[in-house]
Amino acid sequence: MRHFERSQRVAEELLRVVSVLIRAEVKDFDLTPVTIIHCEVTRDLSEAKIRYSVLGDEETRRRCADALGKVGGFLQRRVGDHLGLRQTPRLHFAFDDSVADAAKLQEIFEKIARERDGNAQD
């Protein structure tokens, strides 16, 4: 049987709850392209770092970061309601560009494959 730390279980639930809240309860259209991808919670459950991704240009990323800053307090209150913890972790949002990097790599791999196919036919 695997044993998970409490902070890891809280992080998984927090990830799920924040994703649902952004889709269902936040009315800010600048958050439409946001995807919550990872959450880390400190051992004492006082802080949570939530990593998110945004597909789009730099302006879209900036608007999403601003919108998350504005709704952070609301999300923290709602998370507290859902989790039922004595103390709700303080939420910190951080942009994670790994999804965009993966898309760029995929594009490069596809280009290489097309070039190989072109050279093989010659």
The answer, as to whether pTM is greater than 0.85, is no
CA distance 47 to 122: 59
Q: What is the pLDDT of residue 3?
A: 53
Express each pLDDT in 20-43 by its tens digit.
Answer: 999 888 887 777 778 899 999 999
CA distance 67 to 28: 7
Average pLDDT value for the chain: 86
Express each pLDDT in 79-119 by its tens digit.
Answer: 999 888 888 999 999 998 876 677 778 888 888 888 887 77
- Which amino acid type is present at position 107? E
Full DSSP string of 22-79: HHHT---GGGTTEEEEEEEE-TTSSEEEEEEEE-S-HHHHHHHHHHHHHHHHHHHHHH
- Which amino acid type is present at position 18? V
Residue 58, both tokens: 């730099």
Mean per-residue pLDDT for 58-64? 89
Three-point CA angle 118, 112, 115, nearest 5°:
15
pLDDT band at 1 (very low <50, low <70, confident <90, very high): very low
Q: What is the pLDDT of residue 114?
A: 84
Domains along the sequence of the chain with CATH: 6-96 (3.30.300.20)
